[in-house]
Structure 1
Amino acid sequence: MAAAPTKEAMLHLYSSTLRASRAFSSYNFRHYFVQRTKSVFREIKDEQDPAKLSAFYSEKAKELATLKRSAIVNQLYGGWKLVVENEKPNAQLDRGDS
């Protein structure tokens, strides 16, 4: 019988995965992995079966290592910023006719 990971261990894995997801320099990758992380952990939050929790924890720990490596590579070859990443979210459009 596999011992279920503690709640603190699951929260640490969740926060580490979110941190790694936010490390991507590419907007699309960053938002995809943040949303995916939130949705995957939301699905397992009410699970009580220790075997399922243990399997989930070990699988996601492996994925975290891969995610960290992928984020580093993405930072090296990030590319250009997209229009949606504009630094001024509340900026007024300058129409030039005033």
Structure 2
Amino acid sequence: MAAAPTKDALLSLYSTTLRTSRAFSSYNFREYFVRRTKAQFREIQEESDPAKLSAFYNERVKELQVLKRGALVNQLYGGWRLVVEKDIPKGKEEVMTRSDS
């Protein structure tokens, strides 16, 4: 019987996967992998079966390695920034004004 991963191991894997997901330079990939990571870990949150937890953990570790390679390649060949990615300094939000006023 497989030993279940500890809660700390799962939390560490979750935070590492989120950090790696946020490393994508492409907005669409980044947002997709962040949403997907949160959804996957939310589904297993209440699970108590050691076999299922162990299988989930092992699968996510393998997936994390693929995600790291994908993020690296995406950073190397990242494209233009999208309009939705516009950086606004904190406290200096743009105020929309009409050009005819």
> Same-fold call, TM > 0.5?
yes
Give ranges in structure 1 of 5+ residues lacking alignment: none
For residues 1-98 of structure 1, what are the structure 2 equivalents within 5 Å? Answer: 1-88=1-88, 90-98=93-101
- Taking the aligned partners of 1:30 and 1:62, their CA distance within structure 2 comes to 19
- Taking the aligned partners of 2:50 and 2:71, their CA distance within structure 1 comes to 31
Q: Deviations over 1:15-69 (max 9, x none)?
A: 0000000000000000000000000000001000000000000000000000000
- Taking the aligned partners of 2:98 and 2:82, their CA distance within structure 1 comes to 22
Post-superposition offset of 1:88: 2.5
Give the RMSD, CA atoms, in angstroms. Answer: 1.2
Quick one: percent identity of the two aligned structures?
Answer: 70
Q: TM-score, normalised by structure 1?
A: 0.95
Amino acid at match of 2:26: S
Q: Count matched residues.
A: 98
- Taking the aligned partners of 1:84 and 1:40, their CA distance within structure 2 comes to 25
Q: Deviations over 1:76-97 (max 9, x none)?
A: 0110000101113831224322
- Taking the aligned partners of 2:98 and 2:86, their CA distance within structure 1 comes to 18
- Taking the aligned partners of 2:97 and 2:76, their CA distance within structure 1 comes to 35
- Taking the aligned partners of 1:61 and 1:75, their CA distance within structure 2 comes to 21
Q: TM-score, normalised by structure 2?
A: 0.93
